[in-house]
Chains A and B, each alone.
Chain A
Amino acid sequence: NAGVTQTPKFQVLKTGQSMTLQCAQDMNHNSMYWYRQDPGMGLRLIYYSASEGTTDKGEVPNGYNVSRLNKREFSLRLESAAPSQTSVYFCASSDRVYNSPLHFGNGTRLTVT
């Protein structure tokens, strides 16, 4: 039982490059989330998907797009990376949005030069 799996673990991009962060969960959870964590800022919600087929913006969605591919998978895409997007990105899932605990992956450390 792997829980929430994120790939890749590390990535270095040049400004303007694009990439997709992958996330998959095997707990049959309905809701999935993408957060970014920056020093001194805590975690901030980028996008979330309350259920398969739906996605909604969080606090800091600019510069990102998401796809809820199926119930298991929720990807985050950076179309044109900027240095301000250097961060650690965490994917999480929960049985229900808001009212059940979140299960986190181990993060993707992204550096944009």
Chain B
Amino acid sequence: SQQGEEDPQALSIQEGENATMNCSYKTSINNLQWYRQNSGRGLVHLILIRSNEREKHSGRLRVTLDTSKKSSSLLITASRAADTASYFCATVLSGGGADGLTFGKGTHLIIQP
């Protein structure tokens, strides 16, 4: 079952602009994680944010979490061509459970040079 849903499904911006992707989920979570997938490769972990955190930064990445709205956003500032990839949010439900880490369907980001 899909817990997280990313929005938009696809996003195309010019190099140097900021890119924002959103993730909504349905039930209480323990933590939420963002991953990047380049074409033909495995997923790479970007940021993990716990349910008691509201914002985390890593380099040009900023992740926010609003548990009252059951949503998270990933902001990539000053985008580069190398940021072209699919981005997935993944949630861990409170109390764990058989589903483990549940992924959304992803946002495909294209950075135009």
Query: Which residues in A have some Cβ–Cβ distance to B below 8 Å?
Result: 4, 33, 35, 40-45, 48, 56-59, 90, 92, 97-107
- Least CB separation from A45: chain B residue: B100
Residues of A within 8 A of B21 (CB): none
Give CA–CA (A56, B35) in the complex, Å: 24
Would you give 12 A-B contacts (Cβ < 8 Å), ordered by A?
A: A40-B105, A42-B2, A42-B104, A42-B106, A48-B100, A90-B43, A92-B42, A92-B43, A98-B31, A99-B92, A102-B90, A104-B44
Establish whether residues B100 and A104, one from each chain, have CB atoms under 8 Å apart when the complex forms.
no
Q: How many contacts between A and B, using CB within 8 angstroms?
A: 67
B68 CB within 8 Å of chain A: no
Chain B positions 72 through 113: 1 when the CB is less than 8 Å from some CB of chain A, otherwise 0: 000000000000000010101000101111111110000000
How many B residues have CB within 8 A of the partner chain?
A: 26
Give the contacting residue for B1; candidates A48, A59, A98, A107; CB below 8 A: A59
Whether B104 pairs with A99 at a CB distance below 8 angstroms is no
Expressed in whole angstroms, the minimum distance between the Cβ of B34 and any Cβ of chain A is 10
Q: How far is the CB of B61 from chain A (nearest CB, A)?
A: 14
Query: Which residues from A are CB-within-8-Å of B43?
Result: 43, 90, 92, 102, 104
B 20-47 to A, binary, CB cutoff 8 A, 1 in contact else 0: 0000000000110101000011111100
Specify which chain B residues have a CB less than 8 angstroms from the CB of A41 in the assembled complex. Answer: 105
Residue in contact with A104 in the complex, picked from B42, B96, B106, CB distance below 8 Å? B42
Are A101 and B42 in contact (CB-based, < 8 A)? no
Question: B101 near A103 (CB under 8 angstroms)?
Answer: no
Nearest chain A CB to B44 CB, angstrom units = 7
On chain A, the residues within 8 Å of B35 by CB distance are: 102
* Chain B proximity of A95: nearest CB distance (Å): 12
Q: With A59-B1, A99-B30, A99-B31 known to touch, is A45 a contact of B42 (CB < 8 Å)?
A: no
Q: Which residues from A are CB-within-8-Å of B99?
A: 45, 58-59
